[in-house]
Amino acid sequence: ARVVVLVSGGGSNLAALLEATREPGYGAQVVAVGADRDSAGGLALGTEAGAATFVERLGDHADRAAWDAALTARVAEHDPDLVVSAGFLKLCGPRFLERFEGRYINTHNTLLPAFPGMNGPRDALEYGVKITGATLFFVDAGVDTGAILAQVAVPVQEDDDVETLTERIKVAERAQLVEEVGRLAREGWRLEGRTVRVGA
């Protein structure tokens, strides 16, 4: 399967995916890495791994709709079977969502539907939950509301602060992403409403 990965940050999820794709039989290749900003460390990882890279900045466009159209076209050029948002800090627009419906997944660092949004681990810690985790889901028009593909639980420890909890979640999150992208690639999938059918 051809995978395009979208990043904004350090790209540790991308790094894990790139590592996994070196394994023969994994089933997925990262054909391109896209970012919404130049500083995204993930771009360098993509280049190193021989993937195409591109940057589409919101600020270079007249409005969000124009950016949406440009990003959609950029990603479509690589003809992906799957688009993975791995720490991509922008909400994709309606055009993008329509074009890649059922093929666009995002990883979030809590157990959804609890604690959506940018500060999930902090919110979970402040709330006082004892178990949180990571959720992989098919993106829809809402914020972290799409059909859930997989979840992994991560215990909160008594002495956790935001950093230690965030890091523990990221370890589980990366493993989940690698496992699920490979499974989708090897077995195929269908999205029926909120039901994800893998191997169907």
Asked if residue 11 belongs to a known ligand binding site, the reply is yes
Q: 103 or 170: whose CB is closer to ligand GRF?
A: 170
Name 152's Cβ contacts closer than 8 Å, sequence gap at least 6.
Answer: 133, 134, 172, 173, 175, 176
Is 108 known to be catalytic? yes
Q: How far is the CB of 22 from ligand GRF (least distance, A)?
A: 18
Count of CB atoms within 10 A of residue 78's CB?
18
**Binding residue count for ligand GRF, defined by CB under 6 A:** 14
Pick from 74, 83, 73: which is nearest to 106 by CA?
Answer: 83
CA distance 6 to 88: 6
Q: How far is the CB of 62 from ligand GRF (least distance, A)?
A: 28
Name 29's Cβ contacts closer than 8 Å, sequence gap at least 6.
Answer: 1, 2, 3, 21
Q: 24 or 175: whose CB is closer to ligand GRF?
A: 175
Annotated catalytic residue within 78, 108, 168, 170:
108
| Interface residue with ligand GRF, options 1, 6, 13, 111 (CB under 6 A) | 13
Binding site for ligand GRF (CB under 6 A): 7, 9-14, 86-87, 107-109, 170, 173
Active site residues: 108
